[in-house]
């Protein structure tokens, strides 16, 4: 044994407890630290999942570009961008991040799987002013009959009672009441008048379909009576005509944008908290992979299975009123008004364009998709009994 080795050996094992104990402690600490570090690194590397990227998309637009962009038919532009990038893409407008979804399968993640996460809104200042600045978080109504009277209370009476009853479990203010009623009425009337115009425009453009609708009305209602609410469930072809109109001309082609409450992953991409998410249902309804001859007006496509495509958004390929928690509030009111008014007008009158008028089916930009040129028609009575028009 060399002198050096013998010296080291003697230093380690010469009985000096102090040196051996210190070296052993240092060695143990080193080994323990190394094992813990390797274990933590391996564990973190195994459990750490890479954060999905943001969706692809074009470069952002400055303020001037943003204002010019808003002057276009966004649903059409978004459909073209979806073809360039992918069914889910991002768009920076100023400092706002917009995410546009043009695929029903991806949209299902938003309106069904993660409906709660995407159920918030990011209303602009103008909308808050119009709605009296109110956001009703909780409202409890009891649909009970008053013991003192046989009269059944309507929705407005319940709201007024809640406003006046300060001891109620969920009292509301007058501003909240105004905002709620305005949301209900605007959602059910503006889109209704728009869809009446689009339906009449399609029927004028397709006289053979108009003839079928008139025949059905004559068979169900009769020429000696006017349309009543009880007739509506039996007007199956008229229902198909209106559904086909909603498919080609959804009143809100991008619906109302949603705002995720937390950052989420949809379609393999990150949707950051606070971004605005548009569902391009105009693109859904014209997708050739979903619909046969999607650009043609064919009401018959809704006759085979009339309950499959309803207005409640249960079939994700067809949701003109949205789906999930954020389905249109004015749906019940708007649906009944639209069906009854169209049936009455079509049954009671013959309609034609003024002589020399060009039939224009183009649309104009707006939150609600309306005709670029208002429809002008001339009515003539079609019922033999003129007394029916006095009712």
As annotated, the binding site for heme includes 328
Beta bridge partners of 350: 380
Strands 88-93 and 363-364: unpaired
State the Cα–Cα distance between residues 281 and 318, nearest whole angstrom: 8
Beta bridge partners of 269: 266
3-class DSSP assignment, residue 121: coil
3-class DSSP assignment, residue 335: helix
Binding-site sequence positions = 328
State the Cα–Cα distance between residues 183 and 130, nearest whole angstrom: 9
Rounded to the nearest angstrom, the gap between the alpha carbon of residue 355 and the centroid of all alpha carbons in its chain is 40
Locate 243 and state its tokens: 């559904």
Phi-psi region of 57 (alpha: psi -120 to 50; beta: other; left: phi over 0): left
3-class DSSP assignment, residue 129: helix
State the Cα–Cα distance between residues 206 and 201, nearest whole angstrom: 9
Locate 255 and state its tokens: 């619906």
According to DSSP, residue 372 is labeled S
State the Cα–Cα distance between residues 310 and 106, nearest whole angstrom: 20
- State the burial class of residue 388 (Cβ atoms within 10 Å of its Cβ: 0-12, 13-18, 19+): middle
């Amino acid at each position: 044994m060399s002198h050096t080795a013998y010296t080291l050996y003697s230093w380690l094992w010469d009985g000096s407890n102090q040196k051996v104990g210190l070296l052993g402690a240092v060695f143990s600490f080193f080994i323990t630290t190394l094992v813990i570090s390797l274990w933590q690194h391996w564990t973190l590397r195994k459990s750490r999942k890479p954060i999905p990227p943001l969706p692809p998309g074009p470069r952002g637009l400055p303020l001037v570009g943003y204002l010019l962009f808003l002057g276009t038919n966004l649903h059409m532009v978004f459909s073209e961008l979806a073809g360039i990038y992918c069914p889910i893409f991002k768009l920076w407008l100023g400092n706002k991040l917009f995410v546009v979804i043009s695929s029903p399968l991806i949209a299902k993640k938003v309106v069904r799987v993660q409906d709660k996460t995407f159920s918030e809104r990011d209303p602009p200042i103008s909308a808050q002013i119009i709605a009296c600045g109110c956001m009703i978080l909780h409202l409890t109504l009891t649909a009970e009959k008053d013991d003192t009277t046989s009269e059944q209370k309507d929705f407005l009476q319940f709201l007024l009672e809640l406003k006046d009853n300060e001891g109620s479990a969920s009292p509301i203010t007058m501003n909240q009441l105004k905002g709620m009623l305005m949301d209900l009425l605007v959602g059910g009337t503006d889109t209704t008048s728009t869809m009446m115009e689009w339906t009449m425009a399609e029927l004028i453009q397709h006289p053979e379909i108009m003839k079928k609708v008139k025949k059905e009305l004559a068979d169900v209602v009769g020429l000696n009576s006017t349309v009543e609410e009880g007739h509506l469930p039996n007007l199956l072809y008229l229902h198909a005509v209106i559904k086909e109109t909603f498919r080609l001309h959804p009143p809100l082609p991008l619906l109302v944008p949603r705002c995720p409450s937390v950052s989420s992953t949809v379609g393999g991409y990150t949707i950051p908290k606070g971004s605005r998410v548009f569902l391009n249902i105009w693109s859904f309804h014209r997708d050739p992979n979903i619909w046969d001859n999607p650009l043609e007006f064919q009401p018959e496509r809704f006759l085979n299975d009339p309950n499959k495509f309803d207005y409640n958004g249960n079939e994700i390929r067809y949701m003109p009123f949205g789906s999930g928690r954020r389905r249109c509030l004015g749906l019940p009111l708007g649906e009944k008004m639209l069906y009854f008014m169209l049936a009455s007008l079509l049954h009671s009158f013959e309609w034609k364009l003024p002589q020399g008028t060009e039939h224009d089916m183009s649309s104009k930009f707006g939150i609600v998709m309306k005709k670029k040129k208002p429809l002008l028609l001339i009515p003539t009575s079609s019922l033999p009994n003129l007394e029916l028009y006095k009712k």
